[in-house]
Amino acid sequence: MTNCEDSSEARVTVNSVGQSAGAAEQSRGIHADPSYVHLVGAREELKLDGRFRFRLPDQLAGRLQQEMGRVQSDSKMPPGAFQRLSFYFVPGPNEQILLYPPTNIEIAIDRFQNPVVDADPAQIRAARDYFYSRMEYVEADKQNRLVIPEHLREHAGLDEDQKEVLLNGHGLWLVLRKSSLAAEREANGKEAMNQVGGNILDPIR
C-alpha cells in the first residue's frame, strides 16, 4: 500500500454546515484559487472490472490533464506527479470515496488541522487517524484506469457483486459511491435545492 508519504507535513478539512464565518471565507478563497485543479460538471456511471478498476471518461481525463498543465508551473509537487493522471483516494462520509488530484490534497489536510470551532477534538482526532490510515495514492494506467484499493472498497461497501459506481465532480475533488445510493442522494439534493437554491443562485442582498 502506498500511503501519502508527506502526510505528517500535509494539512484536510471536512465540510461542515456549522463552520465559522472565517472558515467560510477561507473556503470561498480556496474554491477561487487558480493554483488548484478545478473539477466541475462530472457525473458518470462507470463500469467496474474484476479487479475493481474503472476508466476515467476521455472528456474528464482531458480536462484533468489540461488543469494539471495549467497549475504545474506554480505547484510544489514533484514533476513526476504531472506525468500521469493520479489521485489521492481517501475515505469520505456516508460510504463515499473522495478522489483528490495531488495538487489539491492539502485542502483536505488543512481542514483536519483547522477544524470548525465547535467540533469535538476526540472525534476530529479519530476521524483524522482513520483518514490517514486509509489514504492511498493511485496512478492511472495508460488507459486511464484506476484501481479502487481494497480497504476503501470496504469503506464504501463495494463487494464483488458491484458492477458500477457513480463518479461526481465536486469542484476540487471527485466523489465515488455505489450506484445504488445515487437515486436517494439526488432526490435529497433536489429537495435541498428547492429549499435553499434561490438564496444561493439568485440572492437579493
Give the tens place of pLDDT for each residue, 79-112. 666 778 999 999 999 999 999 999 899 999 998 8
Neighbours of 124 (CB within 10 A): 17
Query: Is the residue at 13 inside a domain?
Result: no
Residue 189 phi/psi, 5° resolution? -65, -40
CATH of the domain at 111: 3.40.1550.20
For the entire predicted model, the pTM comes to 0.76
Query: Is the residue at 9 inside a domain?
Result: no
Least confident piece of the model among 47-51, 70-74, 132-136: 70-74
> Distance between CA atoms of 168 and 42, rounded to whole angstroms?
5
Query: Is the residue at 171 inside a domain?
Result: yes
167 contacts 174 by C-beta, under 8 angstroms: yes
Query: Is the residue at 79 inside a domain?
Result: yes
| pLDDT score at 92 | 94
Domain count, the chain: 1
> Distance between CA atoms of 128 and 140, rounded to whole angstroms?
26
Query: Is the residue at 76 inside a domain?
Result: yes
Query: Is the residue at 16 inside a domain?
Result: no
User: How much is the mean pLDDT over the chain?
Assistant: 80
Full domain range(s) for residue 140? 21-201
Query: Is the residue at 56 inside a domain?
Result: yes
Query: Is the residue at 86 inside a domain?
Result: yes
Strands 96-100 and 136-139: unpaired
